[in-house]
Chain A
Amino acid sequence: MSRLVAVLFRVPLVAALAAAALGGATASAQGATISIACGSVGVEFDLCKSGAEAWAQKTGNQVKVISTPKESNEILAMYQQLLSSGSSDIDVIRIDVVWPGVLAQHLADIGAEAGKDVLSQHFPAIIEANTVGGKVVALPWFTDAGLLYYRKDLLEKYGKKPPTTWQELSETAKVVMDGERKAGNANMWGFVFQGRAYEGLTCNALEWVDSFGGGTFVDGQGKVTANNPKAAEALKAAASWVKSISPQGVLNYAEEEARGAFQSGNAVFMRNWPYAWALSQAPDSPIKGKVGVSALPKGGQGGKHTGTLGGWQLAVSKYSKNVKAAVDLAKWLTGPEEQKRAALKASLNPTRPALYEDKEILAANPFFGELLDTFKSAVARPSRVTASRYNQVSSEIWNAVHETLSGRAPAEQSLKKLEGSLTRLSRGGKWQ
């Protein structure tokens, strides 16, 4: 028995030593080893990996690419664990457009390191979104904005034009939906979007409210503007879609569920991010060649076309042991060559205005040019001004909107409650 015990204890120890010897990257004799966390496995990851390795070749450094979870919240949690403990395990990180406020205290001043001329090559709106307390903490990498996808073949069939207002969308959707159902497709619905109670709903809701001229829940100065008649009108309109032109299940749809419905030919309209375009034109897609893309409708004649600003940025941890090399890697990946490669290979939206006039990019992604205005003037979520409280703010917003959508409370009541909870969170408008 005692021999068994001895073996039991020796095996894990030996295995651990072996693992340590085999695994773990060792720094090479020359150059620095930079660790970069840039997403999960897939086309984006491949692009990042190949880009980082190209940089490593060029500069004689080493690169270690680390996978992160898929869910935004998980990624943020992982970053916070690491950065709060002052760890130097990660040098360059890919951050969401709403995180600069939350992570700023741990990030290096990449704007100062990179220089003003580099910053001026990107969309100003994104640079602004990445500026916290006067310093630019991240370089823009890809941008995203909410778009309206529609079945142009079905619209033609019923003699309808792509809608410019939400009212038109609602009417057109009903006509096409009813027509298609009569023709035999019982699963057909009019409009699918992201209605689950999560960050995506905040993005959708922001689009509705902003398109009616109802503001952005919290304005740029930190004042709570959620409770106003235009916002109520927007939410009322959205609530009217559920169960009439949108399935009840939309209340638990994230991006993939909505795309699934649209891609399998069961929805006339869809609100989603640009990534869905490439997938809809894939060789095995049932709707290949039948899809049109436009800006989201306005809320009536006095409204505006809008889309929520999304996208990813590259930031450098201030605890990194090689800040200069890390910044250099970030500059390379967000440079024109890499962004063009990403646009051609994966339809990822560049953040450089110059690239939107590049012929090759436009040939591969025609709507990049048509929708340039949408990308340039996308509306940002109130993450900068609400800083570290943004997640809570977003949670209050999506809960209030979800209540209205599911019919549990009328729009005015939800917005009033939202105003109250946001004001309490804001600590008198100071948000710190």
Chain B
Amino acid sequence: MAVSGPGIERGPGVPPVPTGATAPVGGEVSRLTRQRRRAAWLFLTPMLVVLALVAAWPLLRTIYFAFTDARLGDAGGWSWVGLQNFRALSGDADWWRAVVNTVVFALVSVTLETVLGVGIALTLDAHIPGRGLLRAAVLIPWAIPTVVSAQMWNWMYNDLYGVVNAMLMGLGLIAAPLAWTADPNLALPAVIAVDVWKTTPFMALLVLAALQLVPGEIYEAARIDGIPATKVFWKVTLPLIRPALLVAIIFRTLDALRIFDLPYVLTGNSRYTASMAVFARQQLVEFQDVGYGSAASTFLFAIIALFTAVYIVAGRVRLSE
């Protein structure tokens, strides 16, 4: 049985399947292709309609307000101010600090989560007794509500009676308790550590699903040929799960760049760990400056779009065949 998968097309010389399923032969667009395209749009429309209904108004409204000086609670007294908010943002030291915090946070945590996630997925894929329980256990960090796990870690990080300090001191790794969330140098790594703990299961599960779709025959063939496991991983497994892995990384990065709950609960509005979303919320909700806050959100959107574009290009993610 031929191993099927991406990149294995019917070559020329094979009698054409009378369906026109692949690219139009000889420049003609067959009736069936047109039918398929119509079907495609039909299938696509419900999702697009719902998404447009839910997303269009809130998103466009945010972008609109970014160009005004609106304030919360001020029913209609705003005016258009053009790029003023964006110019103020570019000169705002707190904003740029938040940008740096968020970018560092995203890069480090996504990298760690990917590496750990792939490792855990490979382990979960193996045939060991109690696999089911193991998979359920691994999902626990992702399953606990963030409002709870953030508070939990806050408690564990406490400098006087937190269990993290107690364990590290018990193991002899540190001499005196560290102020994990108060020390400007330790705060961001502390936040990153919690995020890695929390979202590695997300990566692991997605990679595991992708691993499941790799046919077992490949591993059989590799074993018969005597190829070492690591080579199988790098040359065979990784390329096969690459598309799913890239999508998982994109979504993780999007989430990491937009992160709010974790830094907010662990360290509040502290400038050493404030993310861009924390900054935007502070402007929007606490200072009631809807114009400035929306500008920050739009700027955040632009930064994320930039990152995504880089990913798609560098990762050669296929958008169209």
Contacts and interface: CB of A to CB of B under 8 A. Distances in A.
Is B one of A's binding partners? Answer: yes
Contacts of A247: 159-160, 179
B85 interface: no
Given A80-B73, A395-B269, A406 B184 contact: yes
Contact of A197 (B160, B271, B286, B289): B271
B183 interface: yes
A252 interface: yes
Given A84-B75, A395-B286, A250 B182 contact: yes
A80 to B, nearest CB: 5
Contacts of B269: 197-198, 395
B146 interface: no
Interface of A: 73, 76-77, 80, 83-84, 102-103, 105-106, 187, 189, 195-198, 247-253, 257, 260-261, 264, 266, 388-389, 391-392, 395, 399, 402, 406, 408
Interface of B: 71-73, 75, 158-161, 177, 179, 181-184, 187, 267-271, 282, 285-289
A399 B184 CA distance: 13
Given A250-B182, A406-B184, A84 B73 contact: yes
Given A248-B182, A252-B182, A261 B73 contact: no
Given A80-B72, A249-B159, A388-B73, A73 B179 contact: no
| Interface residue SS majority, chain A | helix
A280 to B, nearest CB: 17
A391 B268 contact: no
A290 B288 CA distance: 45
A83 B72 CA distance: 10
16 contacts: A76-B285, A84-B72, A196-B268, A197-B268, A248-B159, A249-B177, A249-B179, A252-B187, A253-B182, A261-B160, A266-B160, A388-B288, A391-B288, A395-B282, A406-B184, A408-B184
A187 B160 contact: yes
Contacts of B287: 389, 391-392, 395
Contact of B183 (A77, A102, A248, A261): A248
B288 A198 contact: no
Contacts of A253: 182
A402 B182 CA distance: 11
B179 A251 contact: yes
A249 B182 contact: yes
7 tightest CB-CB pairs across the interface, nearest first? Answer: A249-B159, A252-B182, A249-B179, A251-B182, A248-B179, A392-B287, A391-B286
B73 to A, nearest CB: 5
Given A197-B271, A252-B267, A395-B286, A260 B75 contact: no
A367 B160 CA distance: 29
Given A84-B75, A248-B182, A266-B160, A399 B271 contact: yes
B205 to A, nearest CB: 24
Contact of A196 (B177, B270, B271, B288): B270
Contacts of A196: 182, 268, 270
A196 B57 CA distance: 37
A390 B179 CA distance: 30
Contacts of B181: 249, 252
Contacts of A251: 179, 182-183
Nearest to A187: B160
